[in-house]
Amino acid sequence: MPAVVIVGAQWGDEGKGKATDLLGSRVDYVVKFNGGNNAGHTVVIRNPDGTAETYALHLLPSGILSPGCVPVIGNGVVVDLSVLFEEIDGLEARGIDTSRLVVSANAHVIADYNRTLDKVTERFLGSRKIGTTGRGIGPTYADKMNRLGIRIQDLFDEKILRAKVEGALELKNQILTKVYNRRAVEVDEIVEELLSYTERLRPMVADTSLLLHDALREDKTVLLEAGQATLLDVDHGTYPFVTSSSATSAGACTGSGIPPTEITRVIGIVKAYATRVGEGPFPTELFDEDGERLRVNGHEFGTTTGRPRRCGWYDAPVARYAARINGVTDFVLTKLDVLTGWDRIPVCVAYDVDGERVEEMPTTQTGFHHAKPIYEYFEGWSEDISGAREFADLPKSAQTYVEALEQMSGSRISTIGVGPGREQTIVVHDLL
């Protein structure tokens, strides 16, 4: 009864989608347990004739692309229903069967006023903004904690739905009109939009915690796929420059209803360098031509918002922190191919924080903002490694680089990505 968790070990976009897709054919369920359509996962699948199909997924679990695997949207997710059906229709139009999708009755719904509030709050914050994706994620999770949220199950009881929307708008309209100078939102407008999805949604909705409990009893394999990443986690990330959900392995339990005692493995996805989208501290960030070269070679432009990603060198204390917080049993090191062509590759091994050498994540926000990377330099390689399928196929200096990262990062590196395609993968230790 394996329950395996996949988490991002940095600031997101590590290649979680590819890793989930890679295991998709061997697992019975793939569960998205946090976040919403702030996520963007690009999955590239090669057709038998050699051409490639590229899929960009936001709300749907990446397992949707694997026939036979049941994709589940867990209770910890916030669901934008218009995006859900747009994504389903888009995949169906490309011949992907989405009929197995199951959605938790307890997942929260992103109402239109929360998309508006996300955007106006960011504008209001000015230079203090977070750089959110503008999808309404933060305000929807705030409503959940504030007990003002609308859940999927509310759509099946119009009276309850109306009462909840009325309750939420009593407060929201004050904020929209008096703080942000926007027009008030009509209860009917919101209720009507949400009800328009009810019939299409009905057959997908289930008690997903019970479903997964039964699946594990039947010895099925469940893969729990995080959106975002450790450093964007609301508790363990670089707060306040984080997302509003629990993106670490513990979140897989609250966000799915699977207890911690069921989790058998935690896979941390880590890029061979580092990227970040939005605001917030990033010690190894590069502002020079190396940064631009990483961005261009790695196609580091957001899948969700198209924003150029901030790029920098590998940060070992961050990876070590992710290993500790998540209990990472295996790392998947992605995008090693992007580092091809550098004479030497710096790796941040510790920080200089106000003149003091610090080996681990600084305790305070101020400490992390002041952290300057202390680099160790590794020999680069110039050979094209995108065709490597065994560790021994890698040039010696690439092998040394991977072994050094493994040694510094607190867990073994079990898989290495050398390209975006499913097959462009070196498996050192099997992940299941």
Binding interface with ligand IMO (CB under 6 A): 8, 12-13, 38-41, 130-133, 135, 137-138, 227-229, 232, 243-244, 277-278
User: Judged by CB, which is closer to ligand GDP: 64, or 211?
Assistant: 64
Residue 188 near residue 194 (C-beta atoms within 8 A): no
Is 97 part of the annotated catalytic residue set? Answer: no
* Residue environment code for 40-49, b if the CB has 16+ CB neighbours within 10 A, otherwise e: bbbbbbeeee
* Contact partners, residue 376, CB within 8 Å, separation at least 6: 346, 347, 349, 404
Angle between helices 137-145 and 112-125 (to 10 degrees): 110
Ranges within 338-367 binding ligand GDP (CB under 6 A): 338
Is 13 part of the annotated catalytic residue set? Answer: yes
Q: How far is the CB of 86 from ligand IMO (least distance, A)?
A: 17
Catalytic residue among 41, 58, 108, 236: 41
User: Judged by CB, which is closer to ligand IMO: 4, or 211?
Assistant: 4
- Among 13, 14, 21, 154, contact with Mg ion (rule: CB under 5 A): 13
Write out the two tokens for 152: 């999927």
35 binds Mg ion (CB under 5 A): no
User: Judged by CB, which is closer to Mg ion: 264, or 305?
Assistant: 305
Instruction: Please give the Cα distance from 190 to 177 (Å, whole number).
Output: 17
21 binds Mg ion (CB under 5 A): no
Instruction: Please give the Cα distance from 236 to 78 (Å, whole number).
Output: 20
Residue 262: strand pairing partners: none
Chain residue whose CB lies nearest ligand IMO: 278
Neighbours of 363 (CB within 10 A): 10
Looking only at the bridges linking them, the beta strands covering 372-379 and 344-353 are: antiparallel
Query: For ligand GDP, what does the binding mask look like between residues 295 and 314, x meaning CB under 6 A?
Result: ----x---x-----------
Q: Out of Mg ion, ligand IMO, ligand GDP, none, which partner does residue 82 contact, by CB within 5 to 8 A per kind?
A: none
User: How many residues lie near ligand GDP (CB under 6 A)?
Assistant: 23
Residue 73 near residue 59 (C-beta atoms within 8 A): yes
User: Judged by CB, which is closer to ligand IMO: 113, or 381?
Assistant: 113
Residues forming the active site: 13, 41
